Structure 1
Amino acid sequence: MFGIDDPSVLEKFEQDELEHPTPRKETGGRIIYQSRELQMPSRLSAPVLCDFGSSVWGEEEHREDVQPDVYRSPEVILEVPWSYEIDVWNIGCAIWDMFEGGHLFDGTDPEHGVYRSRAHLAEMIALLGPPPPEFVARGEFQAGIPIPRSIPLTDRETNLEGSDKRMFVEFLDKMLQWDPKNRQTPKQLLQDEWLRKHTQS
C-alpha cells in the first residue's frame, strides 16, 4: 500500500459520502457498508507494509492456501511445502502490476469464467515454460487444462525499450522462478541493476 500525499482525494471521498451515502444493510446486529472507490491521488508517498493478518512463521513447513489469488506462487498452487520465498514471488507480481497497470496472471478459467488454480498454473506455464518435474513431484495438485500460447515477459512488457526493458525483465526473472530455491533473496534483489538505477536519488 502507498501513503497518500494528496489529501484532496480523502476530502472528495468524505464529501461524496455526505452527499450520496453508500448503501448499507444491518445483519446480525452489525452494519455493513458497500465499498466506495477512492480516486487515485496525484501524489503517492513511500510504500507502506500492511495487512499482516495472514502472516505465518517461515521456519515451519507450510502447505495451506495463502496469498491473494493473482499473487499465488507456484508452490502454493501446487501444494508444495512453502516458506518465505513466496513473498519474493509476490513482490515480482506486485512490481509488474504497479509498473504495467495490470496483473501478470489473472487465473480466469476459460471453462468456468472464474479464478481457478489450474488456469493460473496454465498461465505460469505459458510464461515460464513447464515447471521442473522434481518440483511438481513434491506437490499434490492436478491441473487438467490446456496451456495458453506462450508469451515471454519481454514481449508482454510494453512500457520500456532497449537496456531498460532488458534490465526490468531480468529483475522480474530473478523473482518469478518456479522453484523457490532459484529465487533471489530480498537482500540480493536490492543489488539488482534495474532497481538500483530507478531508486537512486
Structure 2
Amino acid sequence: MFRLHGRPLRHLFSLRSASFRRLFTPSDSQPPDPNDKLEEESLPEYLQDRFYPVKIGETFQTRYQVIGKLGFGVCSTVWLCKDLTQHKYATLKVFGRDLLEGKRRLELYDRINAANTSHAGAMLVRTALDNFQIANAKGRYQVIVHQPLGIRLYDLRHRFVDKILPEGAVKMTLIHLLLALDYLHTEAGIIHTDIQEKNVMLGIEDELILAEFEEGEKSNPSLQKVVGNRVIYASRKLNRTNDYGRPVLCDFGQARFGSARYDGDIQPYRYRAPEILLRTTWDEKVDIWNLAIITWDIFQQDQLFYAKDSNNKDSSAHHIAEIIAILGPPPREMLQNNDYATQFFDLEGNWKGAAPIPSTTLEQKEGILQGKPQQLFLVFMRKMLQWRPAERSSARELLADEWLCSP
C-alpha cells in the first residue's frame, strides 16, 4: 500500500455523482500578449487549424460538457468533462484534424476492449469508454473518451524527499505494471514500446479533486488567449491528494500489434533496448527491457544508463558502452550480418572504442539495499536486462520473482 506523509495511498475506485450542467464565464485575468505562445502554440510544428477549438462549457454529443483543460500534446488536447448521461466525470482526448493517429489509437483501444477482461491486468490498462468525431469546415476530429486519471508516476516519485519510492511501493507498482503487460502481451497481442514513468498514471480514488477542479474553473477561470474565432486555454492541474488508486499503463501512441517481429526505431533514447540500438528486429520483449529501466528510475538515485556523449547529446555509442559495462559484450549472433554493428564492433565482436566503457557494475550502481534483499533485487533486474530478448523473463514469469514477492 502506498504511503505518503504517513497516510496510505489506497487502491480502490469510487464514483461521485456529477452535478447539473454548469455555466462557465471567461477569465477576467490579464490575457497574454498576442505574441506570446500559449500551450499547443509552443509546439514546433503547430498549425492553428490542426487543433479543434474546444471551448470550456461546450457540450458534445448532447452528453459531454467540457469543464476544463487537462493538457495537450503534439497531436491532441485533453479535457475534463461531465458525462451528463452517466452523471460522472470523464476525459476527452481530441485528436488533430484528419490525423491518422486518432484512427490508429482507436483501433488499438478496440483491440484492448475486445480482449479477455477477466484477466487481472485488464483494469490496469487505460481503455476507451466511448468515441465520436467532431466535424467542422476544416475537417474531422477524432475524440476518445477515457476514465479520468490522476498524477503520473513520475510526479508521485518527485513528491518524496529523495525522489525515489520506498521498496514496498516499488514492488506494488511493478506488480501492477507486470499484470498490465501480461494482459497486453498474452491477451490483447499488443507491444507498448514506450513504457516510462510519464506513461503510468495513478487512478483517482476520491473524486473530490475532480469536483475541486470544476469549482476552480467556475470561480477562477483558466488563463485564455483569443486568436481570431478560437480560444486557447491554459491547462489546469488537479489538486494534490494523499490518496491514489492503482497504477494504470497509458499512452499507446507508439504501440504495435504483437503477432510479428518488427524493425525500426522505437522507445525514448535512454530506454532503448539493445536490439533497437543495434538495429535488429524486435518483439514484445522490448517492453521488459523498458520495465527494467523504469524500475531503476523509481528506486535508485542515479539513472542506470545516460546514453549521452561529453556534449550531452544522445549517443548510441555511449549507450552501448554503458550496457557492456553492466552485461558484458553482446552475443556474436547479434553482430553477425549486421552492417550497422560494424560501426562499434570488429569482425571478432570486439569493441572498437567508439566510446569508453565505464568501469562500473550493476552491484556498484545499486545504492539502496544491502545483503540478501540487494542480491535478490539484482537477480530480478538481470532477468530483464539481457542482450538476447528471448532470455528476458516474460511479465508472467517476473510476477513470481522472489524479490518481488518478498514482504
User: In structure 2, how many angstroms separate the alpha carbons of the residues matched to 1:102 and 1:30?
Assistant: 42
Structure 2 residue 273 is matched with structure 1 residue 73 = yes
Q: Structure 1 residues 46 and 176, CA, compared in 2 at 3 Å: closer, same or farther? A: same
Match of 1:193 in 2: 402
1:82 aligns with 2:291: no
Contact 1:107 1:116 in 2 (8 A): yes
Gap change, CA 1:188 and 1:36, over 3 Å in 2 = same
Q: List, as ranges, runs of 4+ consecutive aligned residues in structure 1 with deviation greater than 3 Å.
A: 4-12, 18-22, 29-33, 35-45
Q: Give 1:122's aligned residue.
A: 321
**Separation in structure 2 between the aligned mates of residue 133 and residue 100 of structure 1, nearest angstrom:** 31
Structure 2 matches for 1:121-140, cutoff 5 A? Answer: 121-137=320-336, 139=338, 140=340
**Cα distance, 1:137 vs structure 2:** 2.1
* Post-superposition CA distance 1:54-88 (Å, at most 9, x none): 11123222111001112100000100110011111
CA gap 1:36/1:19 in 2 versus in 1, 3 angstroms: closer
Q: How does 1:28-177 map to 2 (within 5 A)?
A: 42-110=242-310, 112-137=311-336, 139=338, 140-141=340-341, 142-143=343-344, 145-177=354-386
State whether residues 63 and 81 of structure 1, in contact with CA within 8 Å, keep that contact through their aligned partners in structure 2.
Answer: yes
- Give the TM-score taking structure 1 as reference length: 0.78
More helix by share: 1
Q: Which ranges in structure 1 are unaligned for 5 or more consecutive residues?
A: none
SS at match of 1:123: helix
Higher share of residues assigned strand: 2
| Helix, strand or coil at the partner of 2:246 | strand
**For residues 37-66 of structure 1, what are the alpha-carbon distances to aligned partners after superposition, in whole Å with 9 as ceiling and x for unaligned?**
999865543211111111112322211100
Give the Cα–Cα distance (whole angstroms) in 2 for the partners of residues 39 and 31 of structure 1: 22
CA contact (8 A) 2:307 2:318 kept: yes
Counterpart Cα distance in 1 of 2:261 and 2:368: 39
Return the offset for 1:169. Answer: 0.5
Higher mean alpha-carbon deviation, 3-12 vs 71-80, is at 3-12
CA distance in 2: counterparts of 1:8 and 1:162, whole angstroms: 43
CA pair 127-30 structure 1, distance change in 2 beyond 3 A: farther
Return 178-187 or 147-156, whichever deviates more: 147-156
Return the index of the structure with the highest Cα Rg. 2
Q: Structure 2 counterpart of 1:137, which letter?
A: Q
Deviation of the 1:103 alpha carbon: 2.5
1:2 is paired with a residue of what secondary structure? strand
Give TM-score, length-normalised by structure 2.
Answer: 0.41
DSSP-derived class of the 2:256 partner: coil
Contact 1:125 1:131 in 2 (8 A): yes
Q: 1:39, 1:157 → 2: CA distance?
A: 34
> CA separation in 1, counterparts of 2:226 and 2:269?
28
Give the Cα separation in 2 of the matches to 1:162 and 1:197: 14
Conserved? CA contact 1:77–1:117, under 8 Å: yes
CA contact (8 A) 2:273 2:286 kept: yes
Q: Please give the alpha-carbon distance, in whole angstroms, between the structure 1 residues aligned to 2:315 and 2:226.
A: 31
Seen in structure 2, the aligned counterparts of structure 1 residues 60 and 145 have a Cα distance that, compared at 3 Å, is same
Are 2:395 and 1:180 aligned?
no
Determine if contact 1:2/1:44 at 8 Å carries over to the other structure. no
RMSD: 3.3
